[in-house]
Amino acid sequence: KAGFSGTKNERMFELMDGFLKNDPVSLQKDILHHVEYTVARSRFSFDDFEAYQALSHSVRDRLIERWHDTQQHFKKKDPKRLYFLSLEFLMGRSLSNSVINLGIKDQCAEALSQLGFEYEVLAEQEGDAALGNGGLARLSACQMDSLATLDFPAWGYGLRYQYGLFRQIIIDGFQHEQPDYWLNFGNPWEIERVHVSYPVKFYGTVKEEIVNGKTSKVWIPGETVEAVAYDNPIPGYGTRNTINLRLWAAKPSEGHDIESYNTGDYINNIVNRQKAEIISNVLYPDDRSYQGKELRLKQQYFFVSASLQDIIRRFKDVHGNFDEFPNKVALQLNDTHPSISVVELMRILLDEEHLGWKKAWNIVRQVFTFTTHTVLPQALEKVPVDLFESVLPRHLEIIYDINFAFMEELKKKIGQDYVRMSRMSIVEEGAVKNIRVANLSVVCSHTVNGVSRAHSELLKTRVFTDFYELWPAKFQYKTNGVTQRRWIVVSNPSLCALISKWLGTDSWIRNVDYLTRLKEHASNPDLQHEWRMVKKINKMRLAEYIETMSGVKVSLDAMFDVQVKRIHEYKRQLLNILGVIHRYDCIKNMEESDRRKVVPRVCIIGGKAPPGYEIAKKIIKLCHAVAETINNDEDVGDLLKLVFIPDYNVSVAELVIPGSDLSQHISTAGHEASGTGSMKFLMNGCLLLATPDGSTNEIIEEIGAENMFIFGAKINEVPALREQESTVKSPIQFARVVRMVKDGYFGYKDYFKSLCDSIENGKDFYLLGSDFTSYLEAQEAADVAYVDKEKWSKMSILCTAGSGRFSSDRTIEDYAEKTWGIQPCKLPS
Ligand code: GPK
């Protein structure tokens, strides 16, 4: 034992007596160590990517230390834990976020520069972890950051897709999808846990057995797949707490199907085993429309089953029975996607733990909380009963039992109102019988949350009215938020420094309330001047990116007007493009002398269309066709440019948002449940041109309508407008620009026909025509404001100053207190 005579633990301590050090020299040693031994390159010759890898591993080591301590601390304290179940997490890059939260960015930068590398360049080497589609998935990521920062004992659970959200490439203006095989170059941010794995069962039959004199159901599966854990440490900011995001990957199950190996078809049997991995292969890219696909149901059950086995194992390590379960476990359903977990928990308690129905049901009803993210009826998941019966036969039985009990309860409360009962039933009768997953989630959760006040009102009055009348207290809302760590500190370092300088503190990074103090300085010419300088730096970065990506040179004096988000009809990118056409048309028809008065604009649009969504893809093509015409028109020059930014994702957002002057959030009122992009722009001092929808209403409350450009119908006006839509003629300006598209002014006449038809009088469901005039007025107001530099700067500062309420820290604190009932559990520092 190399001359050592103490105990094993003492020896361990002697060998490793402290944490890794964060001074630049220690970091340099670690980086070189990883260059040599992890990346296996010579320390005398390695490139930017290899340096990124070595740096990431050095940062990861530090994350692991904190992660271990946090897990042990939670174990010791055994607090009530939150388990955040989500099929999607849009984490983006990890390096830049980790070094900020660990507080070692400057040290890393210094360490690297002496080695001849630039931190910013290395950070750019990392690809995005894009295990999600859009707002919902990025919200999960922001909330994980807040959970860690606020020291909550939380775990995230999800799926480790091998293919994340598709990459969008544009050929001739058309979107093409390419696979995102993001693990190609390794992923230093995850830790594979080969020993943390659970079998997950599918198909098969259900039998009855007598156990201890009682009949019990036994599910005999037709297929078993192994779920293996991959842990992703999530560091908090300004705390040592580092929580875990555990993602499951599907692997062939050991020991399963031994028999078939005796048939002699060895190779084929191996090949068949590999098919198990399909389950966690690919993320479904069509957010908000579910076609009852078997693979999707298998993905949902797979991650839920593994997570619950893990959660119950952890609980049972400490507790002998389930009495304490509701006091120790909160299970958050992020939309309906993980909702099969309510049935799975029932099954485990009934069939495996042999609790009685009443006791099991009582537990289930106390642990689940449900957040819904939409009002669109097509997004409410339904699963055909036949499919359910084949994939999860025992679960279907339990759903029927839950529904039966619910219907009995309902009858007692509302009498024999069968029409209402059939609306509320978890099972939808009809030619094809379906399971209504949303109803299941509402029935089985103790709290149902909307994502903004307006959304919550719509849930009560339109989507879940029957349920709201039955259980009014169940319905709450928590307005979404975003993390200022990523959306200011990581993505806008110049603004971050400026804010801290003027506030005399960086406390706002942990406590956003401080941001309101910026209001006091909003009219200060010095701050305004520095504020504009910061914007300019960010606009330069963005302009360079635009030139590289699209070849279009843009003027920094122009107003950068941005709409970036998934492409959907209800988000009305088409309204934006028609507005651009109108602007173009006006410039073309102007006297030369009037052109001098035009406020120059760069209109920027970015976003992915779901691969099967025809109209959304046509909108992308239209944007390119219009851009082609405008950008090459010498009459127009720098007065107007239109650019489409391809492959919009988290890291592109980090570049685009800080560089924008104006951003558009222009959904038809009543369709955007919340919207979180607007909050990121707000934080970065970009003015908002928006409809009064979702969270916008609350932004208006916070910063005042006079500091925004609000237009269009209000939520309550939309239904009537829709009724009248076919009888009210759309404004001539609208008719004119639609005609230009229809007549082939931008080419592709036949291709755009159906797009134009979709907004024709009588078919304009999203009310582009009806909102067009007020949209143009709002755009004009933005032009006028932009010319007045002082006024614009003041408005911009007030945006940032008022953005504190839209931090995910606020959302999470609210959830912790009112929905989950959890307390912080902070590691001693
Ligand atoms: C809502 F239903 C869905 C969905 O499938 N995907 C998705 O990103 C969004 N959302 C809403 O559209 C936004 O309004 C909201 O801010 C976001 O979820 C987070 O709640």
- Would the CB of 694 count as within 6 Å of ligand 1? yes
- Would the CB of 135 count as within 6 Å of ligand 1? yes
616 CA distance to ligand 1 middle (Å): 17
What is the pLDDT confidence band of residue 224, given thresholds at 50, 70 and 90?
very high
Position in ligand 1 atom list of the atom nearest CA 376: 2
* Distance (Å, whole) CA 713 – CA 818: 33
Q: Which of 287, 253, 292, 250 is nearest to 269 (CA)?
A: 253
What does the pLDDT look like over 376-428, one tens digit per residue?
A: 877 788 999 999 999 999 999 999 999 999 999 999 999 999 999 999 999 99
User: What is the rounded (10 degree) CA torsion for 547, 553, 555, 559?
Assistant: -60
User: What is the rounded (10 degree) CA torsion for 329, 334, 339, 340?
Assistant: -80
- Would the CB of 58 count as within 6 Å of ligand 1? no
* Residue closest by Cα to atom 2 of ligand 1: 374
* Distance (Å, whole) CA 409 – CA 252: 43
Position in ligand 1 atom list of the atom nearest CA 133: 8
Tokens standing for 770? 């009806």
Sole residue written with tokens 């007598």:
210
φ, ψ at 449 (rounded to 5°): -110, 140
DSSP secondary-structure letter at 817? I
CB burial string 571-601: b at 16+ within 10 A, e below: bbbbbbbbbbbbbbeebeeeeeeeeeebbbb
What is the pLDDT confidence band of residue 538, given thresholds at 50, 70 and 90?
very high
Q: Greater confidence, 290 or 780?
A: 780
pLDDT at 13 over 90: no
* Distance (Å, whole) CA 521 – CA 804: 16
pLDDT at 256 over 80: no
What would the mean pLDDT of 556-569 be, rounded to a whole number? 98
608 CA distance to ligand 1 middle (Å): 14
- Would the CB of 351 count as within 6 Å of ligand 1? no
Query: What pLDDT does 18 receive?
Result: 87
For 667: left if phi > 0, alpha if psi spans -120 to 50, otherwise beta; the answer is beta
- Would the CB of 134 count as within 6 Å of ligand 1? yes
Query: What pLDDT does 270 receive?
Result: 85
φ, ψ at 40 (rounded to 5°): 60, 45
Q: Which of 274, 276, 271 is nearest to 306 (CA)?
A: 276
* Distance (Å, whole) CA 342 – CA 363: 10
Sole residue written with tokens 């520095």:
530
What would the mean pLDDT of 581-590 be, rounded to a whole number? 98
Give me the residues paired with residue 168 across strands. Answer: 177
379 CA distance to ligand 1 middle (Å): 10
Position in ligand 1 atom list of the atom nearest CA 455: 14
Give me the residues paired with residue 330 across strands. Answer: 82
* Distance (Å, whole) CA 648 – CA 546: 12
447 CA distance to ligand 1 middle (Å): 19
* Residue closest by Cα to atom 18 of ligand 1: 136
* Distance (Å, whole) CA 356 – CA 347: 11
What is the pLDDT confidence band of residue 267, given thresholds at 50, 70 and 90?
confident
Position in ligand 1 atom list of the atom nearest CA 288: 5
* Residue closest by Cα to atom 13 of ligand 1: 675
267 CA distance to ligand 1 middle (Å): 45
Residues known to be catalytic = 373, 565-566, 571, 676, 680
Position in ligand 1 atom list of the atom nearest CA 676: 16
Helix, strand or coil for residue 520? helix
φ, ψ at 351 (rounded to 5°): -85, -30
- Would the CB of 136 count as within 6 Å of ligand 1? yes
* Distance (Å, whole) CA 770 – CA 763: 12
* Distance (Å, whole) CA 5 – CA 194: 34
- Would the CB of 481 count as within 6 Å of ligand 1? no
What does the pLDDT look like over 340-374, one tens digit per residue?
A: 999 999 999 999 999 999 999 999 999 999 999 99
* Distance (Å, whole) CA 151 – CA 510: 12
> Average model confidence (pLDDT) for the chain?
96
Q: Is 35 in contact with 41 (CB distance < 8 Å)?
A: yes
Helix, strand or coil for residue 455? helix
Helix, strand or coil for residue 215? strand
Tokens standing for 826? 């902070």
Q: Is 161 in contact with 282 (CB distance < 8 Å)?
A: yes
* Distance (Å, whole) CA 683 – CA 660: 12
CB burial string 212-221: b at 16+ within 10 A, e below: eeeeebebeb
- Would the CB of 374 count as within 6 Å of ligand 1? yes
Q: Which of 206, 456, 444 is nearest to 338 (CA)?
A: 444
Q: Over pLDDT 70: what percentage of the chain?
A: 99
Question: How many residues would you count in the chain?
Answer: 829
Neighbours of 760 (CB within 10 A): 14
* Distance (Å, whole) CA 402 – CA 393: 15
Determine which of 9-23, 513-527, 790-804 has the lowest per-residue pLDDT on average. 9-23
What does the pLDDT look like over 433-450, one tens digit per residue?
A: 999 999 999 999 999 999
* Distance (Å, whole) CA 714 – CA 734: 20
* Distance (Å, whole) CA 482 – CA 144: 10
What does the pLDDT look like over 689-747, one tens digit per residue?
A: 999 999 999 999 999 999 999 999 999 999 999 999 999 999 999 999 999 999 999 99
- Would the CB of 811 count as within 6 Å of ligand 1? no
From start to end of 345-437, where are the E strands? Answer: 368-371, 382-384, 427-428, 434-436
Tokens standing for 630? 């405008």
pLDDT at 29 over 80: yes
Query: What pLDDT does 266 receive?
Result: 85
Query: What pLDDT does 745 receive?
Result: 98
- Would the CB of 127 count as within 6 Å of ligand 1? no
Query: What pLDDT does 376 receive?
Result: 84
- Would the CB of 606 count as within 6 Å of ligand 1? no
Cα–Cα distances in angstroms (integers) from residue 415 to residues 5, 418, 436, 466, in the given order: 79, 9, 22, 14
Top mutation candidate among 133, 288, 374, 570 for ligand 1, by most atoms within 8 Å of CB: 374
pLDDT at 258 over 60: no
Q: Which of 41, 40, 145, 61 is nearest to 108 (CA)?
A: 61
* Distance (Å, whole) CA 256 – CA 62: 39
675 CA distance to ligand 1 middle (Å): 7
656 CA distance to ligand 1 middle (Å): 21
Helix, strand or coil for residue 458? helix
Give me the residues paired with residue 220 across strands. Answer: 205
Q: Which domains does the chain have, with CATH numbers?
A: 78-93+128-477 (3.40.50.2000), 486-809 (3.40.50.2000)
Query: What pLDDT does 259 receive?
Result: 59
What does the pLDDT look like over 276-326, one tens digit per residue?
A: 999 999 999 987 777 779 999 999 999 999 999 999 999 999 999 999 999
Q: Which of 630, 603, 607, 632 is nearest to 619 (CA)?
A: 607
Asked whether the ipTM of the predicted complex exceeds the cut of 0.95, the reply is: yes
- Would the CB of 480 count as within 6 Å of ligand 1? yes
Q: Is 439 in contact with 421 (CB distance < 8 Å)?
A: no
Query: What pLDDT does 257 receive?
Result: 58
> What DSSP string describes 637-687?
GGGEEEEEESS--HHHHHHHTTT-SEEEE-PPTT--S--SHHHHHHHTT-E
Q: Which of 535, 542, 528, 333 is nearest to 448 (CA)?
A: 333
Top mutation candidate among 286, 333, 373 for ligand 1, by most atoms within 8 Å of CB: 373
> What DSSP string describes 547-602?
HHHH-----TTSEEEEEES---GGGTHHHHHHHHHHHHHHHHTS-HHHHTTSPPEE
696 CA distance to ligand 1 middle (Å): 14
246 membership: H or E segment, kind and range: strand 242-252
Cα–Cα distances in angstroms (integers) from residue 772 to residues 332, 711, 764, in the given order: 40, 9, 12
449 CA distance to ligand 1 middle (Å): 13
From start to end of 47-146, where are the E strands? Answer: 81-85, 89-92, 129-131
What would the mean pLDDT of 588-592 be, rounded to a whole number? 96
Query: What pLDDT does 522 receive?
Result: 98
* Residue closest by Cα to atom 19 of ligand 1: 136
Query: What pLDDT does 292 receive?
Result: 79
* Distance (Å, whole) CA 361 – CA 340: 15
> What DSSP string describes 274-341?
HGGGGGGTB----TT-----HHHHHHHHHHHHHHHHHHHHHHHTT-SSSTTHHHHEEEEEESSTTTHH
What does the pLDDT look like over 143-195, one tens digit per residue?
A: 999 999 999 999 999 999 999 999 999 999 999 999 999 999 999 999 999 99
- Would the CB of 251 count as within 6 Å of ligand 1? no
Describe the crossing of helices 732-742 and 749-757 by its angle, rounded to 10 degrees. Answer: 150
- Would the CB of 287 count as within 6 Å of ligand 1? yes
CB burial string 795-817: b at 16+ within 10 A, e below: bbbbbbbbbbbbbbbbbbbbbbe
578 CA distance to ligand 1 middle (Å): 25
Residue type, 216: S
Query: What pLDDT does 288 receive?
Result: 77
First to last CA, the chain: 33
